[in-house]
A and B are shown apart, each in its own frame.
Chain A
Amino acid sequence: MSATERSGGSTALAAGLGLLALLAAAGSLVIGRDGGGPTFGFGGPELAETIVREIRLPRTLLALLVGGTLGLCGAALQGLLRNPLAEPGLLGASSGAAFGAVVMFYFGFAGASSLLLPLGAVAGSLLALAVLYALAGRRGDFLTIVLAGIAINALAAALTSLALNFAPSPYAALEILFWMLGSLADRSLAHVYLALPLMVPGWLLVVAAARGLDALTLGEDTARSLGFDPKRTQALVIGGTALAVGAAVAVTGVVGFIGLVVPHLLRGAVGQHPSRLLLPSFLGGALLATLADIAIRLLPPGPELKLGVVTALLGAPFFLHLVMRSSARDGSAP
Chain B
Amino acid sequence: MTLAAADVEVRYETRTAVRRTTISLEPGELVALVGPNGAGKSTLLRALAGLVAHAGTVTWCGHALARLDGRTRARTVAYLPQNPPVHWPLASRELVALGRLPHRPYAAQETPADVSAVTVAMRQTDTLEFAARSVSRLSVGERARVLLARALAVEAPVLLADEPIAMLDPYHQLDVMGTLRSYTAGRDTERKRLVVVVLHDLGLAARFCDRVLLMDDGAVVGDGPPEETLAPAAIRAHYRVEPFIARHDGEPSIVPWRSLRGPGEG
Contacts and interface: CB of A to CB of B under 8 A. Distances in A.
A226 B46 contact: no
Interface string B110-148: 100001001000000000000110100000000000010
A70 interface: no
Nearest to A8: B109
A221 B87 contact: no
Interface string B37-64: 0000000001001110000000000000
B88 A274 contact: yes
Given A225-B49, A225-B79, A228-B70, A211 B101 contact: yes
B87 A216 contact: yes
A68 to B, nearest CB: 19
A211 B107 contact: yes
> Could you say which of A82, A214, A226, A274 has the most chain B C-beta atoms within 10 Å of its C-beta?
A226
Interface string A256-286: 0000000000010001111100000000000
Interface string A314-334: 000000000000000000010
A39 to B, nearest CB: 46
> Could you say which of A4, A272, A273 has the most chain B C-beta atoms within 10 Å of its C-beta?
A272
Contacts of B78: 225
B35 to A, nearest CB: 20
Given A219-B85, A219-B87, A225 B77 contact: yes
Nearest to B88: A272
A222 B79 contact: yes
Contacts of B154: 226
B70 A221 contact: no
> Could you say which of A6, A7, A82, A227 has the most chain B C-beta atoms within 10 Å of its C-beta?
A227
A221 B79 contact: yes
B93 interface: yes
A210 B104 CA distance: 13
Contacts, number: 100
Contact of A227 (B73, B89, B91): B73
B150 interface: yes
Given A3-B93, A227-B70, A272-B89, A222 B101 contact: no
Contacts of B131: 1
Decide if the interface of chain B is mainly helix, strand, loop or mixed. Answer: mixed
A130 B75 CA distance: 35
Nearest to B75: A227
B97 interface: yes
Contact of B51 (A7, A224, A274): A224
B94 interface: yes
B81 interface: yes
A208 to B, nearest CB: 9
B84 interface: yes
> Could you say which of A2, A216, A217 has the most chain B C-beta atoms within 10 Å of its C-beta?
A217
A201 B85 CA distance: 32
Contacts of A224: 50-51, 70
A215 interface: yes
B148 to A, nearest CB: 12
A218 interface: yes
A277 B115 CA distance: 22
A34 B106 CA distance: 47
A217 B109 contact: no
A210 B84 contact: no
Interface string A222-240: 1011111100000000000
A239 to B, nearest CB: 19
> Could you say which of B88, B98, B104, B132 has the most chain A C-beta atoms within 10 Å of its C-beta?
B88
26 contacts: A3-B110, A6-B94, A82-B85, A210-B107, A214-B101, A217-B88, A217-B98, A218-B87, A218-B95, A218-B150, A221-B81, A221-B84, A224-B51, A225-B77, A227-B71, A227-B72, A227-B75, A227-B101, A228-B70, A229-B70, A271-B90, A271-B94, A272-B89, A273-B88, A273-B90, A333-B88
Given A216-B87, A219-B84, 15 more contacts: A1-B91, A1-B132, A3-B115, A82-B87, A218-B86, A218-B87, A221-B79, A221-B81, A222-B84, A225-B78, A226-B98, A227-B70, A227-B71, A227-B73, A333-B88
Interface of A: 1-4, 6-7, 82, 210-211, 214-219, 221-222, 224-229, 267, 271-275, 333
In the A-B complex, the 8 residue pairs with the smallest Cβ-Cβ separation, listed nearest first, are: A227-B74, A227-B70, A225-B79, A82-B87, A272-B88, A227-B71, A219-B85, A227-B102
